[in-house]
Structures are given as C-alpha cells and as structure tokens.
Structure 1
Amino acid sequence: MKYAITLAAVLLLGSGEAALAADTDAQMRLNELLSSHEEYRESWQALIEDESRLPDWILNLSGYAEPMQALEDDGDNYLVGTLCLPENCFNQRLYAAFTWDKAKAYALYVQVPDALPTDKAPSKHATFRWLGEPDAAQKRLLEEQLKRDPNWY
C-alpha cells in the first residue's frame, strides 16, 4: 500500500512537471521564440529558407503576438501562436505551429484586402499562403485558430 501511494505521488509529480513545462512554453509569444530557444530559431529558419517574398515581420517574427497555446491534434502536440502587424492586425496575420520537440514549424499567412467593406466577409476575400508544407491535420489546426477570431466570417 505504501509503495502504491509513493508510486502515485511520483506519477503525479512527473505529470505536473510536464504540465509545468508545457505551461512555461505556452506563456511564450511568437515574437519571443527566436530569441528564446535555439531549436525554435533553427526550425523557423528551415521553414523560411526556401520561401520567397515574405515581409520582414514574418521572416523575423516581429509584431504583436498573444500568448501561445499548447494544443494536441491526432496525438501530436504543438505550440501554436499568432502574429500580426500592430497597425494592421486584421489584414496581415500569421498563424504558426511548432512541433513539441521544436524540430518543425508550419504556418498560415493570411492577407485580407485593406479596403474591404465591412459588409464583405473577410473569409471570401482573403488570400492564404501555407509555409513549411503542413499536412492536412496541421492545416486544419491552423485554420481552426483563424476561425476562432470573432471577426472572421
């Protein structure tokens, strides 16, 4: 009985440490990742190295960012965040996901025309650019983040 209680305590502490690590990374913001961990910087560089004509704010992950989220999809874990231009968050934004081991990054760059009338649905007029060759599940994960925006319809 004493062994079972000790084992249960160890398991709870171990899962708590994993949750704490996940929570610590999730408190990061996308615009802080490149300076925080070498692994994130390397995976981002691998993503953008073959891409052309990306704005500097995407290349450098600079701009306005909310805290990232640790998300699970089909058994795979990701650290997911958003980034946008502070002066134009609605029209220029990026949704990015990093694998839990920090080895790969995927992103969705969304552009909405600046002069879009308020009665026009942004989802019908936006352009989408996938970065990092995400598979269908990773695309779905990033699209779900976009659809969470209450102004996206």
Structure 2
Amino acid sequence: MSVMLKTLAAALLLGGSAMAMAANDGQTRANELLNADPQYRETWQDVVKKEERLPEWVMNLSGAAEQMNAVTEDKNQYLVGPLCESEATCKSQRLILAFSLDKKDAYAMLVDVPAGLPADKSPTRHATYRFLGKPDQGMQNLLMETLKKDPNWY
C-alpha cells in the first residue's frame, strides 16, 4: 500500500509541475523580449541588421503585443506572437514573431495592409508579406497560420 501511495504522490507532484509549467507558458510578450535576455537582443540584431527600411518599432520590438505561445515546428519549439506599433495601427501593419526557445533563431513576418482599406475588403487579399530571418517554408506556414488565428483577419 505504501508503494502505491508513493507512486500517487510522485504522480501528483509531476502533474503539479507540468501544470505550473503550463501556467507559465505564453506569459512572454514580444515587446518584452529584448529587455528580458541579452541573447534575444543579439539574435534579433542579427536578423534585422541586413534588412532595409524597417520601422523603428520592428527594429526595437517595441509597441503593443499580446502573449506569445509555445509552438512546435519541425520538432523545434518556438515562442510565437504578434506585435504592432500600437493597437490602433494593428489593422494596417503588424509583425508575427517566432523565437526559438534556445534563443538562437528568430523569424518574423511583417504584414502591411493599405491604410484606409474599407471594412468590406478582406485584408488577406490586399496585404503584402515580408519575411525576416530567412524562414523556411514550414516556418513561413507557421507565421501565416498564427496571423490567420486573429479573428480580425479574414
């Protein structure tokens, strides 16, 4: 009976740890990454240093952001989430960002929609997409799928 009790206690402890990890999952926001860890800053600088004509908020990952989520792509885990210069500008320009959990790789998709697009026009059909960090097709698909989860994106 005591062996069974120990097994149950161990299972509860492990389950509790998994729940604690899940509760912490997704608490990171894109606009906090560069200040959170120098490795994020170094990796992001490598991504944007050769890019031309990027907005300041993209270079600095500053602005309005929602919580990032842990996502698996090709057996690797990434923190993925959106960033906008401000909530008001999110409809016309946003960045979908993916950082590997080891902080060594970063990819992004900058989405531009013409300003003043009428509400009855689909942003999907009028948007332009610019990929940063040379994502492969699987990562491009992941970034696009993240964008499609936005209820305002149709």
Task: Please give the TM-score of this superposition, normalised by the length of structure 1.
Answer: 0.86
SS in structure 1 at match of 2:10: helix
SS in structure 2 at match of 1:107: strand
Q: Deviations over 1:14-59 (max 9, x none)?
A: x865764565362011000000011111111111111111000000
SS in structure 2 at match of 1:140: helix
The answer on 1:80 being equivalent to 2:80 is yes
Q: Deviations over 1:46-89 (max 9, x none)?
A: 11111111000000011100111111223221101110121311
The answer on 1:99 being equivalent to 2:100 is yes
Q: What is the Cα-based RMSD across aligned positions, in Å?
A: 2.4
Displaced runs of 4 or more, over 6 A: none
Whole-angstrom CA distance in 2 between matches of 1:78 and 1:150: 22
Whole-angstrom CA distance in 1 between matches of 2:68 and 2:79: 6
Q: Deviations over 1:103-129 (max 9, x none)?
A: 000000000000212221111111100
Query: Which sections of structure 1, spanning at least 5 residues, go unmatched?
Result: none
Query: Which sections of structure 2, spanning at least 5 residues, go unmatched?
Result: none
Aligned residues: 152
Whole-angstrom CA distance in 2 between matches of 1:70 and 1:137: 16
Whole-angstrom CA distance in 1 between matches of 2:92 and 2:119: 13
Identity %: 52
